[in-house]
Structure 1
Amino acid sequence: MSEKLKPNGIWMTKMMLPEHKERINRHNEQLEVQTRPVLDEQKQEEISRMLLKAYEDGNDVTVTLFQSKSRMILTGRIAKRDHLLQRLLIGGQWVSMADIVDCE
């Protein structure tokens, strides 16, 4: 009996209702890979200026990061800058400059 309750067992696949399957499919469609937004030069310069000012002043910064399935908002103080790898250490997490799409 316990074998049937495993995720790949017969019991689990037989008990999925059509409504559940439809909802799972809709959810997966919403998680489709998004295309990376293209930032114009003005927006890139604005983001760079804001990040530099926050780093020099020691203020917290809120950045919006692009990820393949969603956007992530990260808030914290910029602790380090790595010019060679084009990344920042924000709130204990390394962030690539290419992934930043907005800054506040």
Structure 2
Amino acid sequence: MKGNKLTKGSNMRWESSRMMLPEHVQTLRDHFRDDEKVERPVLDEQEWEEIGRIISEAVAEACPVTIRYYRDGFIETMTGRISLQGSPDRHLQIHDPFGLSWKIAFRDIVNASIQ
């Protein structure tokens, strides 16, 4: 005899009631995202000098630069032109190709390269 959803002793009876609440899905996503986080990299004096040289060159030549920076446990990448260097609040102002302006703190910069 072939079983169906109503066959006694069959697990099929409860198959339609399996689901995850949105709160459970969000909790699982947050948990997996937390596992991917990294510690803030510590740069030495030579790395800071190299980053400063690249940023100064990019400002002087008005060429695009790619900045890798630390934010909330992740290393992010931003490409654009630097319009303001050494502002009073210790941030770089970068304009991306879409015309948006972003501020990145100097202490968060991990790497820089000219495009």
Normalised by the length of structure 1, the TM-score is 0.71
Contact 1:35 1:68 in 2 (8 A): no
Structure showing the higher helix proportion among its residues: 1
Equivalent position SS for 2:85: strand
Equivalent position SS for 1:56: helix
> Which residue of 2 is the match for residue 48 of structure 1?
52
Gaps in structure 1 of 5+ consecutive residues: 1-13
Structure 1: which amino acid aligns with 2:103? W
Cα deviation, residue 84, structure 1? 2.1
Work out whether 1:27 is the aligned partner of 2:27: no
Structure 2: which amino acid aligns with 1:62? T
> Which residue of 1 is the match for residue 105 of structure 2?
96
Following the alignment from structure 2 to structure 1, what is the Cα–Cα distance between the partners of residues 33 and 79? 28
Gaps in structure 2 of 5+ consecutive residues: 1-17, 96-100
Correspondences of 1:1-104 after superposition (within 5 Å): 15-16=19-20, 24=28, 27-32=32-37, 34-91=38-95, 92-104=101-113
Q: Name the Cα RMSD after superposition.
A: 2.5
Percent same amino acid at aligned positions?
A: 31
Equivalent position SS for 1:37: coil
Q: What is the total number of aligned residue pairs between the two structures? A: 87
